[in-house]
Chain A
Amino acid sequence: LAKTTQPISMDSYEGQEVNITCSHNNIATNDYITWYQQFPSQGPRFIIQGYKTKVTNEVASLFIPADRKSSTLSLPRVSLSDTAVYYCLVGNRKLIWGLGTSLAVNP
């Protein structure tokens, strides 16, 4: 199972673009990269998933370089409500949850 490394915490301000990078050096060929968001005392919420190159939806973009050893979640123009923990997960079947990145968006 691929292990992921992401920053423990990040700070930003309203209106800025936030990029959270996740390292997964031993990703396997058939592994997917998935990001979730979690607010306190709530269940995680699926944000985006990718396999290679770039994926974009109405909430975020996911950039994956050709070697797939890392990925970057990009949140455009964050607001206070984006303050949450963001998890990067890599694998094909079982999900291994780390501690995530605690993002604080300040006014």
Chain B
Amino acid sequence: DGGITQSPKYLFRKEGQNVTLSCEQNLNHDAMYWYRQDPGQGLRLIYYSQIVNDFQKGDIAEGYSVSREKKESFPLTVTSAQKNPTAFYLCASSPGTSGGAWHTQYFGPGTRLTVL
């Protein structure tokens, strides 16, 4: 089955620790994205990547880092510099970023991160 997988589903971390969230896709999509969703708010873009070895900051990139060494993988690291990391993190991919393709995003099941 084609799709996007995120792991783990739930993650707990102590304050001051870095943590890496996994995102893998087998849809052969060029573009990948990371969002966070907080209660009562819409999704907010953290980072996106249009091609391997390239990525751009989204609206709330501070305290986060990403890499895109393979087309299939786009891991997100939540660093200790992120002041309010507790949230629901969503990874997505799309066939491309031109025209309507950017909007045709396929999402993973999400990772709920809780900082203790």
Contacts and interface: CB of A to CB of B under 8 A. Distances in A.
Interface string A42-53: 111110010100
Interface residues on A, range: 20 to 34
B88 A92 contact: no
Interface in A31-74: 32, 34, 41-46, 49, 51
Contacts of A89: 103
Interface majority SS on A: helix, strand, loop or mixed? Answer: loop
Contact of B110 (A42, A91, A95): A42
A43 B42 contact: no
Interface stretch (B13-21, B73-81, B92-100): B92-100
Contacts of A98: 42
Given A97-B44, A98-B42, A99-B40, A46 B100 contact: no
A70 B102 CA distance: 20
B28 interface: no
Contacts of B102: 91-95
B74 to A, nearest CB: 14
Interface residues of B, number: 26
A101 to B, nearest CB: 12
Nearest to B105: A46
Nearest to A99: B42
Interface majority SS on B: helix, strand, loop or mixed? Answer: mixed
A95 B103 contact: yes
Nearest to B9: A41
Interface string B97-116: 10110111111111010000
B100 A42 contact: no
Nearest 4 interchain pairs by C-beta:
A43-B107, A97-B42, A97-B43, A34-B103
21 contacts: A34-B103, A34-B104, A41-B110, A42-B110, A43-B4, A43-B109, A44-B43, A44-B90, A46-B106, A49-B100, A49-B103, A51-B100, A87-B42, A91-B103, A92-B99, A93-B102, A94-B58, A95-B105, A97-B35, A99-B40, A99-B41
Interface of B: 4, 35, 40-45, 58, 88, 90-92, 97, 99-100, 102-110, 112
